[in-house]
Structure formats: structure tokens, C-alpha cells
Amino acid sequence: MNRSIFIPAGALSLALLAGCRHTGPRFDPHATLSRDASELMLDVETTNRVSPEWLRPPTNLFTIGPGDRLEIELFGDTESHATTLVGPDGKLYYHLLPGLDVWGLTLAEAKQRIETELLKFIREGPKVALNLRSAESKRVWLLGRLNAPGVYPMPAPMTLLEALSLARGPASGSGATLAGSSLTISLGGATEDSADLRRSFVLRQGKLLPVDLHRLLREGDMTQNIYLEPDDFVYLPSAAAQNVYVLGAVAQPKAVPFTDQLTLIAAIAGASGTIKDAYLSHVAIVRGPLTQPQIAIVDYKDIVRGKGVNVVLAPHDIVYVPFAPYRIVGRYVELILQTFVRTVGANEGARAISPNSVPVNPNVPIGGL
């Protein structure tokens, strides 16, 4: 993802320095002077776009996996009809077959393998009817402020809009409703329980896709209606959530509840402070839509020493304390956003499986950026 940004000469010189190894400064309760972080924000030009390939239906055929339910019957023998589940080992058990490995096979390939194996027990060449009853091995995660969030089977190619239709669309008040595969746009104001489409995201194999759900659902921009892949993670956060995310080289990376006039020092203190080897001169504050972020980079070390002015944050800000200095600001922003969506995705996914799951922080090292 290529991005460009104006970097002051002083910041550029800092970017070329190696990180110092030290413990993080302590919270200074006397550092009361502050300025709004919006005064420091710089736009980041985003050139990363939706790949044209994502807008075309996949051509690869469905392959069988554990959890899939198959319907099998021998032609001419109605008593042979059975519905069987592919086991965790990828094998199915049917008729005289002791356990046939079908993991990764297409339906046609599995049918041929079943007929071949049955020849060992049936002299006349057996003909098998094989149908897919339910596809549990291919799933898509649809979580957050949706009317019916959950993990849904994906037996056939599915677009983002079709997937959101399965979850009955964004929660009421988000400005968009879905019925079946059709989209109805409403430009009314969002309510406090609505989905925050500007901070919604699609995660694929641990990476953020540059898909803008606001453009798709509020503006009807079909260039954002990509085809999903199995295990894609779609998340729509609540617009009512008033948190600041503090990530990176802090003792307890977490979402810190937003309060009026929350400062950078207070937010990092809420995450139990910085850890040893944190590079405090390049602490970043990222703000705005995930597809059009702004960034401010401040010297946190100077702030806590009283040489710099504390910074007032806003709801939804992402504060990132790096382990090493950045060299390319566009890659720095990309790393921060990737860390953010991985953290949210891991925790929301774990919570969907077990409400009592322990929060995790899948940090990404910043060395070489």
C-alpha cells in the first residue's frame, strides 16, 4: 500500500535514528497543558485499491472438508440412501466403506473415488449419486452491529452484499438496510446503536482489505462489492462505542474508555504505561476512516518530561507506541491499521465462540519500517 505524506525535516532526521533501549517514562500528574490532536493531523494519501480480481466470481470448484454433510445413494437401491458427515479427519463412512478420505476433493472427484472403492465390494459397477446437503467447512464471519451476526456457511461464491444479507444487514439506524440480495439506501442520520461503516472492515488471512463499506452501503458503490473467500472476517463496529485503542509497546494493549479531554498521557497510563524498549519519540495517533486515515506523530518522551505539550485525543483514535523508529510513514500507518484490525478481529472472533474468552493482542513488529 503506497501512501505519501509531508514529513517535517526534524521528524525525518529522527526517523533515521536507531531506537534506544530504555524503560518507559512514568505518568506525570502535573503535565496538564495540552493541545487538540486535530491540530497535528496530516492526511495520508491512500493509493491501495480494491483489486479487479476480487470483483470477479472465483472459478475454483467447491472442495469437501470436515463438517460438510453429504447425501449419497446407489442408483437402483433406495435403501442405500444416507446422509453422512465428513469427520474431523476428512473421512466419510458409508455403506461398506471403512473410511474414505475425501478432504480437498471436488464433488465429482469424491463421487469417482466412492465408486472405485465400492468396486471392491460390489461386482456390478456401482453408480453413485452424491449431493452436498450443507457446507460447514467453508464459512464466513459476519460480526458486529448486524441484525443477525454469526458464522455462516459458504457453499458457493458469495459477494459482500450477499453475505451481509445473510446477517440481515447492518443494525437499524446505520443508514442502510438489506433484504435478500437487494440493497436499500437510506440517507437518514445514524442513531447511537448503528454500525460505524467508516470503521468497518474486511479481514482476509490476517490482512486488512481496502474495502470501503460506507461507499458500498451508503453510496451504492458496487466497486466495493467484492467476492468473499472462505474464512473472511467482516466486522461492523458500533457507532456508539467511545473508546481509544492503545496498542504496541505498552504493558496492556487495550481499548481505553473515552472521557472528555482524554489526553495521550492518560490513555497510555490506562494501558498500564509503556514497556522496556518502546521507542517513545515516534508515538502515533491515527484518526478517521480506515480507508482515509490521518496521522500525527509526537515525541511522547518530551511530553512526559515537560518539554512537549500533552495531546487531547478523540473517540476512536488509535494510539500506537512503536518498538523501533519508522522510516516510511505510509508503511507505518499500514502497520498500525493492520495491528488494529487483527486485534479487534481476534478478540471479536474469540468472543463469538466463547463470551468468556481472554482478550489477546496480536502485535506486529515494526522493525525495518
Query: What pLDDT, in 10s, does the model give residues 140-180?
Result: 999 999 999 999 999 889 999 999 999 999 986 544 445 43
Structure confidence at residue 153 (pLDDT): 92
Same domain, 260 and 327: yes
Q: pTM for the whole thing?
A: 0.77
- CATH code at position 335: 3.10.560.10
Count CB atoms within 10 A of the CB of residue 266.
19
Query: What pLDDT, in 10s, does the model give residues 102-136?
Result: 999 999 999 999 999 999 888 788 899 999 999 88
- Residue 83 confidence (pLDDT) above 80: yes
Query: What pLDDT, in 10s, does the model give residues 252-283?
Result: 999 999 999 899 999 999 999 999 989 999 99
Structural domain ending residue among the three candidates 236, 266, 292: 236
In a domain, 369, yes or no: no
Same domain, 251 and 331: yes
In a domain, 57, yes or no: no
C-alpha cell at 169: 444487514
- Residue 211 confidence (pLDDT) above 80: yes
In a domain, 360, yes or no: no
DSSP at 10: H
Same domain, 232 and 144: yes
The pLDDT mean for the chain works out to 83
Single-letter residue type at 369:
L
Count CB atoms within 10 A of the CB of residue 68.
26
Which residues are CB-contacts of 299 (< 8 A; sequence separation ≥ 6)? Answer: 14, 280, 281, 282, 283, 308
β 91-92/182-185 pair status: unpaired
Query: What pLDDT, in 10s, does the model give residues 9-38?
Result: 333 333 333 333 334 444 343 344 678 888
Structure confidence at residue 174 (pLDDT): 41
Same domain, 198 and 250: no
Query: What pLDDT, in 10s, does the model give residues 34-64?
Result: 788 888 888 887 656 888 899 999 888 889 9
Single-letter residue type at 217:
L
Distance (Å, rounded) from C-alpha 236 to C-alpha 150? 12
Structure confidence at residue 162 (pLDDT): 97
Please report which confidence band the pLDDT of residue 210 belongs to, taking 50, 70 and 90 as the band edges.
Answer: very high
Structural domain ending residue among the three candidates 134, 157, 182: 134
The average pLDDT across 69-82 equals 91
Structure confidence at residue 274 (pLDDT): 96
In a domain, 61, yes or no: no
Structure confidence at residue 290 (pLDDT): 92
In a domain, 297, yes or no: yes
Same domain, 190 and 227: yes
Same domain, 205 and 166: yes
Structure confidence at residue 49 (pLDDT): 80
Structural domain ending residue among the three candidates 119, 134, 149: 134
Give the total number of structural domains in the chain: 3
Q: Residue 240 region, left (φ>0) first, then alpha (ψ -120 to 50), else beta?
A: alpha
Distance (Å, rounded) from C-alpha 7 to C-alpha 331? 14
Same domain, 164 and 229: yes
In a domain, 53, yes or no: no
The average pLDDT across 50-79 equals 90
Same domain, 318 and 330: yes
3-state secondary structure 61-109: CCECCCCCEEEEEECCEEEEEEEEECCCCCEECCCCCCCEECCCCEHHH
- CATH code at position 108: 3.30.1950.10
Structure confidence at residue 47 (pLDDT): 56
Same domain, 343 and 250: yes
In a domain, 343, yes or no: yes
In a domain, 316, yes or no: yes
Same domain, 127 and 173: no
- Residue 366 confidence (pLDDT) above 50: no
The average pLDDT across 55-74 equals 91
Please report which confidence band the pLDDT of residue 357 belongs to, taking 50, 70 and 90 as the band edges.
Answer: low
Same domain, 147 and 227: yes
Same domain, 219 and 191: yes
Which residues are CB-contacts of 355 (< 8 A; sequence separation ≥ 6)? Answer: none
Residue 229 lies in domain: 138-236
